[in-house]
Amino acid sequence: MNSNYVSIEHIIEKVNRELPPGGEFNLESVKEWIWEAMEEIGCITQYAASTFELDIVDSKAETPSAIQSIQEVLEGESSYTMKQINQYDNFGILTYKLNAGYIYTSFEEGTVLIHCYTMPVDANTNPIVPDDSSIVKGVVSHIIYKISKQLWFKDLLTSDKYQYIVTQWTHDIMEARGASKMPTVTEYTRLQQDILKPFPDMYRNEVTRTNIVVST
């Protein structure tokens, strides 16, 4: 997977070029749809390990939208590992639950440390997208699909045109999924070296030449 990224402005520019007549969007919607597209594509190799410190007020705090997978939650002062539950208990155990973009804790005031994996973001916390043509196309296609769905619900887009967009979206997402799983040149080289390690030095060049012939 490419370790370079394109900005949300680049994505919006591409969306504007393909926007159906009457289609509208705002920045917050685009951010949400990019998260959706990245999850749909399955770019899990792009997740970054992160830690957030959140201030708890009235037993809750808003969680960053970039969070994709929470590993653990610690109470800030004691570093005690909190237990996630569906309903609060009354046994004095530090607990939390997640709901609709918020974390709710069993204590009213304090801080929590959230160790998690997040989608990559820029300095303004806007999502950024791997600089791969198939993935960028998949993300743009997903945004166009979401806008077109709104137009279709309002009878501003015919069913035939909407179905065409859905078909194109399905195709683009499938291609992006394949691209998201492809190794970079560096990753491929490292993998090849790991595979060749068991071979004696005298056979490594021969194996490499064989691999090159097969791959072509």
Give the model confidence (pLDDT) of 93-117 as tens digits.
788 888 888 999 888 899 999 988 8
Residue ending a domain, choose from 77, 96, 118:
118
Single out the residue in 118, 136, 168 at which a domain terminates: 118
Residues 38 and 138 in one domain: yes
The neighbour count for residue 38, using CB atoms within 10 Å, is 26
Q: Give how far the C-alpha of residue 38 lies from the chain's centroid of Cα atoms, to the nearest Å.
A: 4
User: Do residues 41 and 77 share a domain?
Assistant: no
168 and 155 in one domain?
yes
Give residue 64's Cα distance to chain centre: 13
Q: What is the pLDDT of residues 116-157, one digit of tens each?
A: 888 788 888 888 898 889 999 999 999 999 999 999 999 999
Dist CA 72 CA 103 (whole Å):
12
Torsion sign (Cα): 161, 20, 143, 26: negative
12 and 66 share a domain?
A: no
Residues 90 and 152 occupy one common structural domain: no
* pTM for the model: 0.65
Instruction: Quote the number of domains for the chain.
Output: 3
- The order of strands in the sheet holding 95-99 is 60-62, 102-105, 95-99, 83-84
Q: Of the candidates 80, 97, 118, which is a domain's last residue?
A: 118
Render pLDDT for 23-82 as a digit per residue (tens, 0 to 9): 889 998 999 899 889 888 886 656 777 888 999 999 899 988 777 778 888 888 888 888
Q: How far apart are CA 80 and CA 72, in angstroms?
A: 10
Give percent of the chain with pLDDT exceeding 90.
Answer: 34
The answer to whether 151 and 111 are in contact (CB under 8 A) is no
Domain range for 28: 5-45+123-180
The pLDDT of residue 193 is above 90: no
